[in-house]
Amino acid sequence: MDMVSAFSEVRKERFSWRNWSPARRREALWGLGFISPWLIGFLIFYLAPMIASLVFSTMNFELTKPDGATFIGLQNWQRLLNDDTMWLAMSVTFVFAIISLPIGMISAFLLAVLLNSANLMGRSLFRTLYYAPTMVPLIASTLIWAQVLNPSDGWINRFIEIFGFDVRGVDGLRWLNDPAHPNLVFIAYSFIGLWTIGNAMLINLSALQGVPSELYDAARVDGASWLNRLWSITIPMVSPVIFYNLVLSVIGLLQYFIVPWVLTGGSGDPEGRTMFYMIHFFKQGFIFNKLGYGATLAWLMFAVALVITVMLFGSARYWVHYAGDSRS
C-alpha cells in the first residue's frame, strides 16, 4: 500500500461516524446542537433566497403577476449585456469607489494614529466624538448633510466664502446637483462617507494598541523618524486589520445605495452620476417589479464582488503580514 492510499484509509477511519466512540458522538451532537440556530438561519435566510434568486434569473417573473412567471432561460442575461443603464451604473459605482475608497481608508487610519498618540490630551473624549456619528441613523445623517451642502445656506459654502470665493446661491457651488460640474457629486458623497468612518477608525485603533512598544523603542534608538516608524513598523504590524477594512469597504461601496437614494430618489441626477448599480437593481426589481431581471443584476454584482475579493486575497500574500508568518 502506497503512502496516498494509507493516508486515505486513515482519513476515512478518522471521519467515519461508525468508528467514533460514544463520547465523541455525544460531543459532536452537542456541537451541532449549539451551532444549529446559525445553521438554520443560514439555510433559511441566506442559502434558500440565493437559490431562489438564481432560479428567478432564468424566468420572466414580475412581483405583481407571480402566477404568470415563465421560464426564459438566459434571456435576462442577454438583456443584461445590452442594458446601457447597467453599464452606466457599473461605471459610476467603480468611479466613485476609486475616489472614495482611498479617502475613507487613509482618513480612518490616520485618525486612529492620531487618537493613539500618547501626546494627545483628551484622547478618550476625541475617540467618543469621532465615533459618535456612526450611532446616528444613516438616513438622518444624509438629510443633515443635504443641508450642510446646500448651495445657498450650507455650512460648506459659507466656510469657503470666508476666503473670498463667491460660491453661494443658485449659480454657486452646487455640491449635489451641478450640471456644469457633475463629477462634484462624487466629492460630496465622499464627504458624507467620512461621517461614518468611526467603525474603521475604532478597528484600526484597537490594532495600533496591539503593536509592541518595544519595536518603537528599538527604532528610536536606531534613529528612525516618526515617518520611518510608521512605514516600517506600524503599517506592517496592522496590515491584517487594514486588509480587513479594505475588503469590507470595497464590498460596501459596491452596495452603495442609501445615500444617493435619499438625496435623489433614484433619478441619477446630475447627468447620471448618481445612478449607482444598486439603485438600478432596486428600481428594476422593486419599482418596475421585474424581479427576474433584478435577480440577474444581483447575481452579476455577486460575481463582480467575488472576483474582486479573490483578487484582494491573492494580493494579500505580498503585503499583509501575520504573526508567525515564515515568508521572507
Q: Report CA-CA distances (Å) from 160 to 123, 152, 288.
A: 29, 12, 42
Percent of the chain with pLDDT over 90: 76
Mean pLDDT, to the nearest integer, of 215-221?
93
Highest mean pLDDT among 3-17, 119-133, 298-312: 298-312
Backbone angle region of 67, left / alpha / beta, with phi > 0 → left and psi within -120 to 50 → alpha:
alpha
pLDDT tens by residue, 195-215: 999 999 999 999 999 999 999
Under the banding of pLDDT at 50, 70 and 90, the label for residue 166 is: confident
Residue 19, pLDDT above cutoff 70: yes
Question: Is CATH 1.10.3720.10 the right assignment for the domain spanning 80-319?
Answer: yes
DSSP states along 186-218: HHHHHHHHHTTTHHHHHHHHHHHTTS-HHHHHH
pLDDT tens by residue, 72-131: 999 999 999 999 999 999 999 999 999 999 999 999 999 999 999 988 899 999 999 999
How high does pLDDT run on average in the chain? 91
Place of cell 483628551: 122
Place of cell 512598544: 213
Q: 96 and 253 in contact (C-beta within 8 Å)?
A: yes
Q: 115 and 201 in contact (C-beta within 8 Å)?
A: yes
From CA 123, how far away is CA 114, in angstroms rounded? 9
Mean pLDDT, to the nearest integer, of 14-18?
65
Residue 180, pLDDT above cutoff 90: no
Residue extents of the structural domains in the chain: 21-77, 80-319
Residue 194, pLDDT above cutoff 60: yes
pTM value?
A: 0.88
Place of cell 470666508: 162
Mean pLDDT, to the nearest integer, of 184-194?
94
Residue 10, pLDDT above cutoff 50: no
Q: Report CA-CA distances (Å) from 121 to 76, 114, 125, 179.
A: 59, 11, 9, 45
Under the banding of pLDDT at 50, 70 and 90, the label for residue 12 is: low
CB atoms within 10 A of CB 34: 9
